[in-house]
Amino acid sequence: MYLILYIESVDFLERIVYLDNSATTKPCKRSVEYINKALTENWGNPSSLHSFGFSAELSMNEAREKIAKKISAETNEIIFTGSGTEANNTAIMAVSNSRAKKIITSSIEHPSVLETIKKLELNGFEVVRLSCDKSGVIDLDELENEVDENTALVSIMLVNNEVGSVQPIKEAVKIVKSKSAKTLFHCDAVQAFGKMPINVRNLGIDLMSISAHKVHGPKGIGGLYCKKGVNLKPFITGGGQERGLRSGTESTPLIMGFMGAVENLGDINKELGKIKEINEYARECFEKDDNIFINSPENALPFILNISVLGYKSETLLHFLENENIFVSSGSACAKGEQSYVLKALGLDKPRSDSALRLSFSRDNTKEDIDLLYSALKKAMGKIRRSDK
């Protein structure tokens, strides 16, 4: 009830500036159409032996093929999961019984990676969390020093969800595989999929997590790339769907929605160019302002731009902006909570991380959105009291 009231307060007839696309994106028309069709017409169980089930299976396999192609994988190397988080859990828990007892990850991973690894740490695994430099990139020498024959898994994200820093995955895989060929390499690519060219063969990784709702698809559907020959253990057991690796009747409507989103992605390099223009325009605007600082590194993926409006708490600014129909994310988890561990790892002090905002773009954004945001920020700075004075 409260949520409905809350949404009613947003006037959708007015222009909305949505700059929280790393939280979720607006589902595209094609995605919604496919979901609708899968719910109203082609709603059979893909495991059913009759033709009605077979028809659903065919559609699902078409989706699998298209998604696989997007990352240069083979069709049957994609397993559908309930979310990006579940894909991360599946990949990491696969090593829970391995003889090698060491896991290497970075200190700026998504909680679905960090918390899952922590669970294994409590069960006796040795865990190494690689530090990162000011631009949010891991130290490959540190990785090389840590990897050994006893390393079961290395899990490093492709693009960081708070600041957008891109990790040198290809080089990291090379280092890992040259020191220990058996070690599994998992990559959380939820914030990267559909936003930069990804070629899993070229990267050399074994496992990779992706999610639909970050690329204009529905929530509740993710995928795990699992390289042929990698012996994955099922995380969810049951009727043996998804080659026995993820039981439970496949959510064909959401899978079809995922396919619609992927079909709609278009030329990634072209889109990246457009987003880069918006990002650079925003950086130029903010650099002129003495009070706004850029937290994202220069080489970050342009879809994410983390900034600090010094002296103004993230949460207050966020709520001010929502009244102006502008939607962003606070950089840190929340005002009363812990300082964001990602911004801390980048070496930012508390005033910077307390006032951090994460802007994240999609193909629907324009430079005008940045103008509207910047003038709203200036308005906020004039109206809201600084929390540090």
Partner 1 sequence: MKEIILIKNGELALKGQNRSNFEDILIKNIRRRLKSLGKLNIRKAQSTIYLEPAEEDYDFEEALQRVSLIFGIAGFSRACVCEKSMEDILSKAGVYLKSTMENIKTFKVEAKRADKNFPLTSPEICREMGGKILSYFPHLKVDVHNPDIVVYVEIRDFAAYIRAQQLHGAGGLPVGTAGTASILISGGIDSPVAAWTMAKRGLRLNAIHFASPPYTSARAEMKVKTLLSKVARYSGTINLAIVPFTEIQDQIAEHCPEDYFTLIMRRMMMRISEKIARDSGSLALITGESLGQVASQTLPALVSTDSVVNMPVLRPLIGMDKEEIISISRNIDTFETSILPYEDCCTVFTPKHPKTRPTLELCENAEKGLDIDNLIEKAISETVYTYID
In the list 315, 351, 374, 378, the residue contacting partner 1 (rule: CB under 8 A) is: 315
CA angle 159, 165, 166 (to 5 degrees): 55
Smallest gap from Cβ 356 to partner 1, in A, equals: 16
Can residue 124 be called a binding residue for partner 1 (CB under 8 A)? Answer: no
In the numeric block, the tokens 């989103």 are attached to: 261
Decide: 343 and 353 in contact? Cβ < 8 Å. yes
Q: How far is CA 346 from CA 104, 294, 350, in A?
A: 19, 12, 12
Distance CA 352, CA 373 (A): 19
Under the criterion CB under 8 A, does residue 316 sit at the interface with partner 1? yes
CB count in 10 Å sphere of residue 196:
18
Give yes or no for a contact between 387 and 356, defined as CB atoms under 8 angstroms apart: no
Nearer of residues 150 and 316 to partner 1, judged by Cβ: 316
Residue 246 binds partner 1 (CB under 8 A): no
**Ordered DSSP codes for 218-276:** -SS-EEEEE-TT--PPPSB-SS-TGGGTB-S---HHHHHHHHHHHHTT--HHHHHHHHH
Among 124, 229, 337, 382, binds partner 1 (CB under 8 A): 337
187 included as an active-site residue? no
Q: Which token pair is 131?
A: 């530090």
Check binding of 346 to partner 1 (CB under 8 A).
no
Minimum Å gap between C-beta 380 and partner 1 is 8
Residue 379 binding partner 1, by CB under 8 A: no
Task: Return the residue of 322, 344, 374, 378 that touches partner 1, per CB under 8 A.
Answer: 322
Q: Which of 132, 187, 226, 334 is catalytic?
A: 334
* Counts of helices then strands in the chain (DSSP H, E): 14, 13
Q: Which stretch binds partner 1 (CB under 8 A): 48-56, 101-109, 115-123, 380-388?
A: 380-388
What x-and-dash track marks residues 263-302 binding partner 1 by CB under 8 A? ----------------------------------------
Q: How far is the CB of 16 from partner 1 (least distance, A)?
A: 17
In whole angstroms, what is the distance from residue 341 CA to residue 144 CA?
A: 24
The rounded distance, in Å, linking the Cα atoms of 127 and 151 is 9
Pairing relationship of beta strands 184-188 and 151-155 according to DSSP bridges: parallel
Q: Which of residues 100-119 bind partner 1 (CB under 8 A)?
A: none
- Among residues 335, 349, 350, 364, the one that binds partner 1 under rule CB under 8 A: 335
**Is there binding between residue 334 and partner 1 (CB under 8 A)?**
yes
Residue 134 touches partner 1, criterion: CB under 8 A: no
* Residue 26, token pair as written in the block: 């607006």
What is the set of active-site residues? 334
Enumerate binding residues for partner 1 (CB under 8 A): 2, 6, 9, 313, 315-320, 322-323, 333-337, 384-385, 387
